[in-house]
Amino acid sequence: MIDYSLAPALQEKIDNLNKPKGSLGRLETLALQVGLIQHSLTPRLTNPCHILFGGDHGIEREGVSQSPRDVTWQQMINYVKGGGGVNVFCRQHGFKLRVVDVGVDHDFDPKLYPNIIPRKIAYGTNDFLHTEAMSREQYERCMAVGAEMVDDCQSEGCNIICFGEMGIGNTSPSSILMHLFLDIPLEKCVGAGSGLDSEGVCHKLEVLTNAVSNYNRRAVNPYAPHSIGWAETIIRYFSGYEMVAAIGGMLRAAQYNMVIMVDGFIMTACMLAASQLNPDIIDYAVFGHCGDESGHQLMLQAMGAQPLLHLDMRLGEGTGAICAYPIVESAVNILNEMDNFQHAGITKYF
**Distance separating alpha carbons of residues 135 and 220, to the nearest angstrom:** 12
**What is the pLDDT tens value at each position of the chain, 350 positions in all?**
899 999 999 999 999 998 888 999 999 999 999 999 999 999 999 999 999 999 999 999 999 998 999 999 999 999 999 999 999 999 999 999 999 999 999 999 999 999 999 999 999 999 999 999 999 999 999 999 999 999 999 999 999 999 999 999 999 999 999 999 999 999 999 988 878 899 999 999 999 999 999 999 988 899 999 999 999 999 999 999 999 999 999 999 999 999 999 999 999 999 999 999 999 999 999 999 998 877 999 999 999 999 999 998 888 899 999 999 999 999 999 999 998 767 766 767 66
E strand or H helix that includes residue 324: helix 319-337
Give domain status of residue 22, yes or no: no
Residue 264, domain member (yes or no): yes
Inter-residue contact 289 to 263 (CB < 8 Å): yes
CA-to-CA dists, residue 63 to 205, 208, 329, angstroms: 11, 11, 41
Which CATH number do you get for residue 58? 3.40.50.10210
- Known catalytic residues? 317
Q: How many domains does one find in the chain?
A: 1
Tell whether 25 is covered by a domain.
no
Please report whether residue 256 resides in a domain. Answer: yes
Residue among 184, 266, 181, 183 nearest 226 (CA): 181
Overall residue count recorded for the chain in this entry: 350
Is residue 7 within 8 A of residue 36, CB to CB? The reply is yes
| 263 belongs to a structural domain | yes
Distance CA 340, CA 342 (A): 6
337 found inside a domain: no
Structural domain includes residue 11: no
Distance between alpha carbon 47 and the CA centroid of its chain, in Å?
A: 18
Report the distance separating Cα 223 and Cα 204, nearest Å: 28
| Burial (CB count within 10 angstroms: exposed 0-12, middle 13-18, buried 19+), residue 183 | exposed
Q: What is the pLDDT of residue 19?
A: 85
97: in domain: yes
| Domain of residue 273, residue span | 49-324
How far apart CA 43 and CA 332 sit, in angstroms, is 7
pTM: predicted TM-score of the whole model, two decimal places: 0.96
pLDDT given for residue 293 in this prediction: 78
**Alpha-carbon torsion (290, 294, 298, 303), positive or negative:** negative
Q: Count the alpha carbons within 13 Å of 301 in the hemisphere toward its beta carbon.
A: 7
Determine the pLDDT at residue 349: 66
